[in-house]
Amino acid sequence: MSQIGKSLHLAWAVWGANRRGFTNVLIVLVLCAVVYRLIPAVWFEPPLIRLIWFIPFALSLILVFSFISATVDSDEPTVLSAFPQRVFVLPINTLTLVSVHLLLAVLSVTAVYFAWGLLVLEPAGLPFAAWPLSFVLSGVICFQALIWCLSRHRLTRLIIMGTLGTVLMGLAVVLQVESAGIAGPVMGTTTFGILLGLNATACLAAGWGVRHQRRGDYWTFFGSVGLTRSLQRSSVRRRPPFSSPATAQFWYEWRRNGIVLPFAVGFATMLIITVGSVMVADEPAHILLTLAWLFASPMILAVFVGQGFAKVDFWRGDTSLPVFLAIRPVSCGTIVLTKMRVAVMATVISWTLVLGMSGIWLAFLADTSALPAWQEVLYRMYPSTSLWALLALCIGAGMLITWRYMVLPLPLGLSRRSRLYYFGILINILVVVGIVVFIAIVASRPTVVAELLRQFGWIPWVLNLLILAKVWLAVAAWRKSLALGLVDARHVVTCLATWVLGTGYIVLLFWFLW
């Protein structure tokens, strides 16, 4: 068989391994093409939420890339190379192996990019341009090269990939701001040269990395493996045993699942501050928009991270319970309560990160000249209230909402029913996106609620029925759990009290602000 024949065979294997995933991306594309045309134009107008309509587009690009990348980035515990051995033993040279995967990733992402632009975004009147694709493709090539070259260094890989992504997105935003519009001329020779150089380096690094992996070599950061081992040995010796099974489970949950939200929030905060700095430098009034995104980021990320957090293991593709955990003498109630406690810690740390980084940004880096005007507006709206107290109350509500979205999908994630779980994810995300869109529309057109109620008088009744159904479902679930001995009465009282206090706090705060 010729090299071209082998390449086609390899490409077919990648497609075959992810046929279902590619088909799902195609289905979402077609669905969005139909739905976006049916949605009234007013829903696309508020600038605060225009970004939301691009989320399925961005997710499609990420998914397509991850399908191709996942085909070679094996997660088997003993396989340390990024390529599984079965690919290495194919009678095909390394150059072809690397080229096929890179080319496939580039072509697939390009196809999805233009399909979305021409079939969904442009017909819906949303802005679409070809130039950001060059940044996306650079990201694809660099990320793939990093996955291959740093296969033994997963944490380092994560940090570098996060930083690179932030830089590329920041650069793209700078170009957009400079060009004063998405359709304007943006790609200068310097930028083009930087991207071209980056891509060429990444391709060479990818080839080098895979060639070394294929012959069993791996490299370390100046003996970092030995250093890590020494540190690990000394740190482990100092650690006393866990005081109780609950403490051990908390540690496990935190290390495996809890840490994801603070990491994600940290990266998002850096990205928002980078982009926000450029925007605020251009127009000081953009500081409010940047702050809004900063404070919304833990809540928005909790919606997505919470879906993975709900599973026993965030990083496992399925919802099954690993045998290692299943044979521990732990009750189901303990697993759930530990997850809820870990979610509290993840929420508190995430918010601390946001507040700390925002504070540093405002104090030392940002142009805050537009803030006093907004302070005046707030003083006029709430004359008898301290703005600091109001801010503290809002942050408290934000923390509650973040925690709620972290624990909301727990029943689905722990049900061990994959189809139910993925269906639940879809519904949860659609509901959240719907709520955000609605709030943004109301913010830009306050009369829309009255108009809707006038036109569809049955809406309040349906909402009431939905609330009643939810309460009934919760009561039934708790009763069943009590009957099966999964939880005890103390757990029920604790959870009920938490729910009443949390919900009461949010409702009262919204009533006060309204």
The minimum distance between CB 310 and another protein, in angstroms, equals: 18
The minimum distance between CB 343 and another protein, in angstroms, equals: 20
Report which of 88, 207, 199 is spatially closest to residue 143, judged by C-alpha positions: 199
- Which lies closer to another protein via its Cβ, residue 324 or residue 364? 324
The minimum distance between CB 162 and another protein, in angstroms, equals: 19
Site for another protein, rule CB under 8 A: 77-78, 80, 229, 232-233, 236, 239, 241-245, 247-248, 251-252, 255-256, 322-324, 326-331, 485
What would the two tokens of residue 249 be? 């489970």
The minimum distance between CB 232 and another protein, in angstroms, equals: 5
- Which lies closer to another protein via its Cβ, residue 152 or residue 214? 152
Q: CA-CA distance, 244 to 169, in Å (whole number)?
A: 45
Q: CA-CA distance, 16 to 71, in Å (whole number)?
A: 10
- CB count within 10 Å of CB 348 equals 14
- At residue 215's C-alpha, the angle toward residues 210 and 216, to 5°, is 95
Q: Where are the alpha helices (DSSP H) in 117-242?
A: 132-149, 154-179, 189-214, 224-238
Q: Helix 55-72 crosses helix 94-116 at what angle (to 10 degrees)?
A: 170
Q: CA-CA distance, 44 to 53, in Å (whole number)?
A: 8
Radius of gyration (Cα) for the chain, nearest Å? 25
The minimum distance between CB 233 and another protein, in angstroms, equals: 5
The minimum distance between CB 90 and another protein, in angstroms, equals: 24
- Which lies closer to another protein via its Cβ, residue 171 or residue 420? 420
Q: CA-CA distance, 367 to 154, in Å (whole number)?
A: 37
- Asked whether 257 and 315 are in contact (CB, 8 A), the reply is no
Q: What is the largest CA-CA distance in the chain?
A: 81
- Which lies closer to another protein via its Cβ, residue 85 or residue 352? 85
- Which lies closer to another protein via its Cβ, residue 228 or residue 375? 228
Report which of 48, 110, 279 is spatially closest to residue 178, judged by C-alpha positions: 279
- Which lies closer to another protein via its Cβ, residue 233 or residue 380? 233
The minimum distance between CB 312 and another protein, in angstroms, equals: 11
- Which lies closer to another protein via its Cβ, residue 220 or residue 503? 220
- Torsion over CA: 88, 92, 95, 101 (sign): negative
The minimum distance between CB 342 and another protein, in angstroms, equals: 15
- Which residues have CB under 8 Å from 503's CB, separation 6+? none
Report which of 436, 258, 288, 429 is spatially closest to residue 350, judged by C-alpha positions: 258
- Which lies closer to another protein via its Cβ, residue 296 or residue 486? 486
What would the two tokens of residue 442 be? 């109301």
- Which lies closer to another protein via its Cβ, residue 323 or residue 489? 323
- Which lies closer to another protein via its Cβ, residue 179 or residue 415? 415
Instruction: Answer left, alpha or beta for residue 487, where phi above 0 means left and psi between -120 and 50 means alpha.
Output: beta
The minimum distance between CB 75 and another protein, in angstroms, equals: 9
The minimum distance between CB 158 and another protein, in angstroms, equals: 13
